[in-house]
Chain A
Amino acid sequence: MTPVSLAPLGEAPAAAPAYVRRFDAKTRALHIVVMTTFLGLSATGMPLLFSDAPWARAVATLFGGFHGAGLFHRAFGAVLLGAVVFHLGDVAWRAFVRRERGILWGPTSMMPQPRDFVDFYRQMKWFVGAGPRPSFEHFTYWEKFDYWAVLWGTAIMGAAGLILWFPVAASRVLPGWMFNVALFVHGAEATLAIGFIFVVHFFNGHLRPGKFPMDLVIFTGAVSSRELAHERADELARLRREHALAAYGVGEPAPSAIRRGFLIGTMALSIGLALFALIVYAVVR
């Protein structure tokens, strides 16, 4: 049914719904916004970061030259900043106003847990053949790293970007040499973010064996209980313990949702890898 080829996962767990809700609509929308703006920011920022590359002018011209690319860059940046601020507000609202449990601490939280260090240690042992494939909870350590990397990156690059966007206003509180620091940090952090997303996140989330060519869960929101049992047996066990499995059960994603996710994912992965190829060319040429 799914266009994604998967190696055998083993038996479906007994007495479990076929699919389990992993990401709600808000989270999926947030990923789409972050993904789109990130690709846009990369494409419009790279001509300046690699201004001596032979493709730089052509890519800038694609967005209407330096001025057009600058306008798009600021627009994408503003939307990304807005999305992150909205997300932080939402987290704060859920944690402090609605007093939801499991937001700031616990197995469903993005907060690093002692368990993450154990997970990492077990994963390393598995990598080198000194232990079995570990089981994970709701979020793995590399997923948390991705999440915090986006928050850290947006905070740093957003702050630096705003300084560069409004230099005269910024100079009321900051000395002018902070523009130098801001530009340097913006570029260095961009190098880090682009390399991390287009290589590490793409591999961990989508391109690695078992997920290749992509994991559709971020687009459909649902993970099959077979896959959950294979990757996150500890989460499945906890849901059983808490008698919450049925509450999270959902139907198989509609073929249209799968097609849509596959299309969006293919486009995003292609653009990202193409941009990364341009950087590799600019660096090694």
Chain B
Amino acid sequence: MWIRLLCSVALAAVASVGTAAAQTAPKPPANDDCLACHGDPSTKRDDGRTLAVDAAAFERSTHGPMACVDCHADLAKLAEFPHESKLQPVKCGSCHDDIASKYHDSIHAWAKEKAGLIGAPSCANCHGSHDIRPHTDAASRVYRARVPETCGSCHAGVNEKFATGVHAAALKKGNSQAPSCADCHTAHGVQRVDSDTWKLKVTGECGTCHAQVVESFRRTFHGKVTELGFASVAACADCHGAHDILPARDPKSMVSKARLVETCGRCHQGATEKFVAYDPHPDPTSYARSPVLWWANRFYWLLIPGCFGFFGLHSALWFWRSRKEGGR
């Protein structure tokens, strides 16, 4: 009996000590605590890499009001400085969960997490870390006009090509509608461009600006097959190029008069000058564009309703009369 009592007393003592310890636990470190070391520009890791954080830039950043340990969450319970040198990676997804899940399905995440490609980007490679600005801010790495430069820090060759094209020129002029990388490739869910799904989807993406052009494309064999969900025929980029798109009047353009035979000939071996008189964006309602197509359209717009109207009435009358005469 007294043994049980002793045990209870001992347990209660242990519990009260624990509670007391929790009550006296240190508050999470404030930003100033962190900056005591990291605010010094000369703070370095053992390997010589800087550990300094530009406090002013951080305060101007979109995360300025937040605490360091909101992101560096494993330091939230830190009591003693300096802390361990190896920290957990920052999990942006703990706040930006929808974006993180998009990223997780992307080719970038696949390369980084599954293929072990150490150069593959995660959040900070594109957005920065302590100086993140909203994409509407011209100083942001992901500001529309600066996106090609940001992506180009890895995809340098693509950026070089893109810079020669009509979209980059419009972007440089400050056209807010001009596409940068993320408009076609998306920002977070970037996919392989050799997949059928991507090729079929990006045609619709071109159509968000070039709506009428895509509508006319949908009238063609190429347009119908791709709409059906098969990518083995030409879509926008197959003829126009992807990054270095140029207007047809530019002789360097894939769809210029000078290069059409070559461009069409990539699929249609043996294509000639006569062959490329094909209109990849036909409009049967435009007489000026193609008189014969216009006439064909007119003809069938008379023939089809005429035929169906005539024989529809013929059948209806026949049915009515037959029923009246007892089914014969």
Residues on A lying within 8 angstroms of B by beta carbon are 7, 9, 47-49, 51-52, 56-57, 60, 65-67, 124, 126-129, 133, 142, 164, 167-168, 171-172, 174-181, 183-185, 188-189, 191-192, 195-196, 199-200, 203-204, 208-210, 230
Contact B304 A188 (CB under 8 A): yes
**19 A-B contacts (beta carbon < 8 Å):** A7-B327, A57-B229, A126-B321, A129-B324, A167-B278, A168-B269, A168-B270, A175-B274, A177-B277, A177-B290, A183-B220, A184-B296, A184-B297, A188-B297, A188-B303, A199-B308, A200-B311, A204-B315, A230-B328
Kindly report which residue of chain B lies nearest to residue A48, judged by CB atoms.
B224
With A47-B228, A180-B293 as known contacts, state yes or no: A188 contacts B275, CB within 8 Å. no
Contact A51 B322 (CB under 8 A): no
With A66-B232, A172-B274, A192-B303 as known contacts, state yes or no: A177 contacts B317, CB within 8 Å. no
B contact residues around A9 at 8 Å (CB)? 328
B contact residues around A67 at 8 Å (CB)? 230, 232
Contact A168 B268 (CB under 8 A): yes
Contact A7 B225 (CB under 8 A): no
Contact B278 A52 (CB under 8 A): no
Interface size on B, residues (CB 8 A): 51
Against A, the Cβ 8 Å flags (1 = close, 0 = not) of B5-41 are: 0000000000000000000000000000000000000
Question: From residue B199, how far is it (CB to closest CB) to chain A in Å?
Answer: 14
Q: How far is the CA of A127 from the CA of B324 in the complex (A)?
A: 10
Contact of B268 among A65, A167, A177, A199 (CB under 8 A): A167
Beta-carbon contacts under 8 Å, B233-277 to A: 268-272, 274-277
B contact residues around A191 at 8 Å (CB)? 300, 304
Contact of A210 among B232, B274, B327 (CB under 8 A): B327
Tell me if B287 is interfacial: C-beta within 8 Å of chain A.
no
Against A, the Cβ 8 Å flags (1 = close, 0 = not) of B285-328 are: 00000101100110010011001100110110111111111111
Contact B327 A209 (CB under 8 A): yes
B contact residues around A51 at 8 Å (CB)? 218, 223-225, 227-228
